[in-house]
Amino acid sequence: MATKSSPQWNLLKAGDPVDIIAPASHTSQLALDSGMDWLRSLGLVPRFRDGIIKGDLFFAAELEFQQQDLLEALNSDSKAIWCVRGGYGSMRLIPLLNEIRRPDHPKLLLGFSDITALHLYLNQKWDWPSFHSRNISAMRAEDHLTPDRQATQRLLFGIDHEITFQDLIPLNEFAAEEKEIQGRMVGGNLRILQSSLGTSWELQAKDKILFIEDIGERGYSVHRMLEQLKQAKIIHRDLKALAIGQFTEGEEKNGKDLIPEALKRIADELPYPVFTGLPCGHGTENYPLPLNTECKLKLGQSITLTCQSGGI
């Protein structure tokens, strides 16, 4: 169960509506329909506006449509908002969020990749919890029984009130020490975290466990982004820990993957625990990771991370 110090959201039950928004890039009608079928297979009622993925340059729809879509979802009677896909575009909606009053009742936002911009804003500015999880376009009815999708379902309906990741791997000496740390999780896609610098939704990682993942970034690029976050005094010190998820499709032209070495070099320079192995991100599996809820981290040669869902 969530502790009193954790932000909370209301658990879902059969028959509940779920608002579907597309704040970033376009997807296919087939992918959208498959996601809707998956939600219906859980007994939920997907709700979205006509024209949600009609396309506009890099985006799923014109900015005005996406803004109105988000406003209606935030102020509707649903308990959850699920994003269609990532790509690019979510950060364009932040100025709108800066102008409006925070709704009285928190809703659970689900999605990942470019959706990191919205996670950061809702976690940091509104103190809402959210799930770094598969976007709805990747939730196909035929994949209903995969373990990561099952985990998402169990958290949404309160069958489980926490999720535990075991056999995680220490990347520096601080993570290999036998000790326990508690704190809230923040973060998401590394490129978007970097893009937050200098904005109203800039990453605030002090006294938090920071999670990172990415796709399509080569080793030098991953190192450069982390080096910038370090020089910007975002991750230089004062974090509880750095949690590393999946970094995929970042091979060099010769096929070699230099990302593990880039991450290890950064880990050795940081004065707090850094660990890897979280099955969250752009890999085959993408387990739900609660953000802005209480987490317990047991360090040592085999690391365990347990995060509360925040659902009540």
- The domains of the chain are located at 17-156, 162-308
One of 25, 78, 90, 113 is an active-site residue; which one?
113
Q: pLDDT for 31-63, tens place per residue?
A: 999 999 999 999 999 999 999 999 999 999 999
pLDDT of residue 2: 43
- Please determine, for residue 142, whether its predicted confidence score (pLDDT) is greater than 80: no
Q: pLDDT for 270-282, tens place per residue?
A: 999 999 999 999 9
> In the CATH scheme, what is the code of domain 17-156?
3.40.50.10740
Architecture in CATH for domain 162-308: 3-Layer(bba) Sandwich (3.50)
One of 137, 195, 282, 294 is an active-site residue; which one?
282
Q: How far is CA 51 from CA 11, 34, 62, 66, 186, in A?
A: 29, 17, 10, 10, 32
Tell me whether residue 213 is one of the annotated catalytic residues. Answer: yes
Distance CA 260, CA 105 (A): 41
Tokens read off for 263: 């991450």
Tell me whether residue 113 is one of the annotated catalytic residues. Answer: yes
Q: How many CB atoms lie within 10 A of CB 300?
A: 14
Q: pLDDT for 7-36, tens place per residue?
A: 899 999 999 999 999 999 999 999 999 999
One of 213, 217, 221, 294 is an active-site residue; which one?
213
Q: pLDDT for 246-258, tens place per residue?
A: 999 999 999 999 9
Q: Are 269 and 239 in contact (CB under 8 A)?
A: no
Tell me whether residue 282 is one of the annotated catalytic residues. Answer: yes
